[in-house]
Structure 1
Amino acid sequence: MTSLSRRHFITTVGIAATIPLLKGCLGNPPDEPSQSVKTTAPQTSAVKPGEEPEVTTAKLGYLPIVEAAPLIVALAKGFFAKHGMTDIKIEKQANWGSARDNIKIGSQGGGLDGSQWQMPMPYLISEGIITDKAKVPMYILCQLNTQGNAIAVASKHKGKGLGVNLTGKASYFKEIAASGTRFKAAYTFPKANQEFWIRYWLAAGGIDPDLDVELLTVPTAQTVADMKRGAMDAFSTGDPWPNRIVSEGFGFSPVLTAEMWKAHPEEYLGMRKDWVDRYPLAAQAILKGVMEAQQWCDNFDNRKELASILATREYFGVKEEVLLEPLMGKYDLGERKVDDKSLAVLYWKDSKGSVSYPYKSHDLWFLTESVRWGFLPKETLANAKQLIDGVNREDLWKKAAQSLGVAAADIPTNTSRGVEKFFDGIEFNPDNPQAYLDSLKIKKA
C-alpha cells in the first residue's frame, strides 16, 4: 500500500473490526422441523478438453442469509460438478469473524479457500487490517446478489413515524438518548455492508449514528432472540432474519435497502489470491458454477424450490414460508406491505444491468464510505485505483462469462456503472468521490 500510512490504516480500522463477536448458534430453532438437503444429480459435464480444473475440490464459506444462495444452489443443483468441481465443500460459518479467521488459515490449515463476503472485507483482509496484521491477499470474483436486506426495528417504536425517510425524526432519537439509554442499532460485522446501510439511513434523516444512537455487532442468527429480549432497537441484515422478526411479532421493518439504493451492490464471492493463482482453471470452474446458479436463482419460477433448498437444516434451518414471500418480493413490513419483484433479492440481472459482474466503481463507493465514517484515512482515495485493481478480478468474470456463452450485451464493457443515486437525492460519481463526501452533511471525514 503506497502513500497510505499503514499504521494509521490499522489504527483507524483494526481495533474496532477485530472486536470479539457475540457467539450465536446457527442450528435449527427448537420449534422448526428437521429437513434434509434437496440436491440434484450432477449435470452433464461441460468441461472442454484441455480445460479440466487442476483440482476438483475447494472449501467455501457462507452465512445463512439469502446472499449465500448462489453458492448453495451451485452445489445442490450440480452446477459446480457440471464444470468439473465435483468435490466442492461449502461450510456454514458461525459469524463473519469465523469466516475471516478461516480464510486467514486457509483450507490447508482447516479453514477456507474462499467465502461470501460483506464489503469491503476482502480489502481489509488483503491489507491485514482485520487479520491481526497478517496480510492475506484476496481476489473478488463476482458479486453474489443485490438487495434482499432490510432494517428491522423493535415493536415498541411502532407508530412513531419511522419510515424510509427519517427527516424530522432526529428529535425522537435525541429524546431516547436524553432518557439515559440511546437507541441501539445492530449489524453483523463492523465497518462493512450492514453497518453502512444503517448509518446511511440514519444520517440521511439528520441522525448522527455516532452521537445519537449506540451501534453494536450481533451475529445474524442471534438477531431474533436479541430483538425478542429487548437487547436492541434495530437491526440491519439480510433475509430471512428481518422477516422472522416481523412474522414473530417482535418488530417491523421501516425500510428495505432496495428502497434506499435500488440495485445496490451487496455481497461478493472472494477467494484467496494464492489459491486462484495456483488453480486458475479451477477458479474459472467455480465462477462458472456460481454464475449458472445465479441465473437459476434469478428465475422467479424457481423461487419456491430455492426457498425449499435454503430452508433445510443443513443450510438455514428455518421454515420455508419465512423465506418464500421475501424471495418473491412480497414483504409484510409490519406497518405496510410491499409486493414488487423489482425490490426482491436479485442474483443475475437488475434494472441497471448485470448483478453478478463486480463493478470497480462499487468497490470505490465502499472505500469512500469507509473514509466518510473515519474507518479508513483520507489518503485511501488517492490509492483507491491501485487497491481496487489488486483485488477486483473482473477480468476473470468476463473470461468465465464468455466461456459460458453469456450474450455480449450482458457482459459490461466498463468497470464503472456510472453515477449512483440514493433515496435522499445524494449522488455518487465514481469519477469524483470527493464531491460525494463534500455533499454529505453528517460524516467524520
Structure 2
Amino acid sequence: MKKINRREVLKKGVTLGIATTGLTGLMRGRAQPKKLRIGFIALTDCAPAVMAQELGLFKKYGLEVEVAKEASWATTRDHLLSGEITAAHCLFGMPFSVYTGIGGPAGRVLPIAMVFNNNGQAITLSSQDFGGKVGFKDLEGAGKAILAKKKEGKPLTFAMTFPGGTHDLWLRYWLGACGVSPASDVRVIVIPPPQMVANMSVGNMDGFCVGEPWNGVAVKQGIGFTTVASQDIWKHHPEKALVFNNEFFRANPEESQALTKAILEACKWLDNVANRRTAARVIGQRQYVNADPDVIDARLQGVYELGGGLGRRNYTDDYMLFHRGGQTNFPRKSHAIWFLAQYRRWGMLKEKPDYEKIAEAILAQDFYASVAKELKIPLPKDDMQPLGGFIDGVTFDPKDPEGSIKKYKVREL
C-alpha cells in the first residue's frame, strides 16, 4: 500500500482539527533538529505515534523522528532502558512492573509523560474450546468452562503480552470475576501481540488478551471470538502511554515537551471520528501494524463483530479513545496505585509497596501539566477519587489500596 503522507491527507479533504496553540512558546525556545527514535508495537493504539509522524506533527515542533517497530514489549523495555529508543508507545503498566522488579530490573525509572488511549483491548477465546459454551460478557459460563477443564486434568492456557502490563491485568481481572484463579486454575503465558493469532491457530493457547486489531483478526479468520472488551472490564481504563528513556527525559526537557505536544495533537486528531478511516489505512500498512484496514477501522469506530455466533456489539461512548477533551491523556496517580494494588492482589508483590512514592517516581504529572497548559488542554480534577466502572462492581479507593484489595472475592495474597 502506498504511504499516505500529510500532503495527501490534506488533499483528500481530511481536516486536521488540531490546535496550533503553543507554537509561539516553542519558537522562543525551539527544540533543535535531532533524529529521535520512537518505538511502537504493531497495535491499533500505536496510532498517535504513527500519525504524529505521517501528519508532520513532529516536524511542526522542530523534531526529526524515526518511528521504529519493536518485536515485543520486552524488547521495547530493553531499548528504553538502554537509550536505543528515546521514547515509546508503551503499556501503561510496564514502568510500574519494571520499577517493582516484576518485569524488569527493580528500581529503574521509565517516566510516563502522558496516556495514549483508553479502552479498545479485548479477550478472545478459542472457537474450538469455547464455541457455543460462552457468551458475550458471560462470566458464569466462562468460569464453568474453564474450571471444568481443570477438573478433567486439562487446565487451559491463556496468553497476555507482558508480566504486570495492561493485558496481563485485564486477563487476571476477568478470570477473577469469573471465579477463576490465574495462578492455580489456568496457565498464563507471554506472547508478543502480533503473534497471538498465529499461536492460537496452532493450539498454543485457548484464550488471549491483547490490543486490537488482533482480536478482530482472530474473528475474521474464524479461530476465535470476542467474549469481552477491556472497556467492559473497566470503562475508560488507561491503556498505552508515552514512556521515555529516563536519562533523555531529564536532560532534554524542550525536546521531550515538543515530542509530547506532537503526540497530544495526534490524539486530538484521532478523536475526530471522521479521521479514523484515514488512520486505519495508514497504520494498516506493512511497516506499521500490517493488518486489514477494514478490521482496524471497524473497531476504531466501535463496531465489534464478535464472532462465534454472538453477533455485533456497538460501542458508542467507550470505544478506543485518544483524547476525550484531555480526560484520557492525564497520567493519574490513582491509576498507578490501582496497578500496584493488583500486583499485590495476584501475589506479584509479597510486601506492601510505597504506593504514592512509586506513583510519583514514574508519573510526570507536572511535566504533563505544563505541556497541557501551553496547548490549552484542561486538566482533569478527579485524580485520587474512587475508581468505578469495573465488571465485578467493585469500587477501588486509591487512598486505601490495601483495604480495597480485600473486597475481591478471588484474591491471592
TM value normalised by structure 2: 0.91
Deviation at 1:139, TM superposition (A): 1.1
1:93 aligns with: 70
Deviation at 1:239, TM superposition (A): 0.6
Q: Which residue, 9, 24, 37 being the options, matches 2:3?
A: 37
Determine if the alignment matches structure 1 residue 199 to structure 2 residue 176. Answer: no
Q: Which residue, 30, 50, 57 being the options, matches 1:52?
A: 30
TM value normalised by structure 1: 0.85
Is contact 1:359-1:417 (8 Å) kept? no
Deviation at 1:75, TM superposition (A): 0.7
Is contact 1:136-1:272 (8 Å) kept? no
Measured in 2, the distance between the counterparts of 1:252 and 1:114 equals 34
Is contact 2:97-2:165 (8 Å) kept? no
Quick one: structure 1 residues 39 and 246, their matched pair in 2 at CA, closer, same or farther if it must change by over 3 Å? same
Quick one: structure 1 residues 271 and 443, their matched pair in 2 at CA, closer, same or farther if it must change by over 3 Å? same
Is contact 2:134-2:141 (8 Å) kept? no
Is contact 2:386-2:395 (8 Å) kept? no
| 1:257-336 correspondence runs (5 A) | 257-334=230-307, 335-336=310-311
1:427 aligns with: 395
2:126 aligns with: 154
1:342 aligns with: 317
Is contact 1:374-1:444 (8 Å) kept? yes
1:439 aligns with: 407
1:246 aligns with: 219
- CA-based RMSD: 2.0
Deviation at 1:178, TM superposition (A): 3.0
Amino acid of the structure 2 residue aligned with 1:51: G
Deviation at 1:168, TM superposition (A): 5.7
Is contact 1:428-1:436 (8 Å) kept? yes
Measured in 1, the distance between the counterparts of 2:172 and 2:101 equals 25
Is contact 1:421-1:428 (8 Å) kept? no
Deviation at 1:79, TM superposition (A): 1.2
Q: Give the secondary structure class of the aligned counterpart of 1:343.
A: coil
Deviation at 1:225, TM superposition (A): 1.0
**Uncovered stretches (5+) of structure 1, i.e. residues with no partner:** 1-34
Is contact 2:118-2:239 (8 Å) kept? yes
1:78 aligns with: 56
Equivalenced residue count is: 398
**Uncovered stretches (5+) of structure 2, i.e. residues with no partner:** 11-15
Is contact 1:139-1:391 (8 Å) kept? yes
Deviation at 1:126, TM superposition (A): 4.2
Measured in 2, the distance between the counterparts of 1:158 and 1:228 equals 14
| 1:128-147 correspondence runs (5 A) | 130-132=103-105, 135-147=107-119
Q: Which residue, 131, 136, 145 being the options, matches 1:172?
A: 145
Q: Which residue, 322, 334, 356 being the options, matches 1:361?
A: 334
Is contact 2:232-2:391 (8 Å) kept? yes
2:160 aligns with: 187
Quick one: structure 1 residues 129 and 214, their matched pair in 2 at CA, closer, same or farther if it must change by over 3 Å? closer
Q: Which moved more, 1:155-164 or 1:194-203?
A: 155-164
Deviation at 1:129, TM superposition (A): 5.4
Deviation digits for residues 256-292 of structure 1, max 9, x if unmatched? 1111111111111110221111110111101110100
Amino acid of the structure 2 residue aligned with 1:52: R
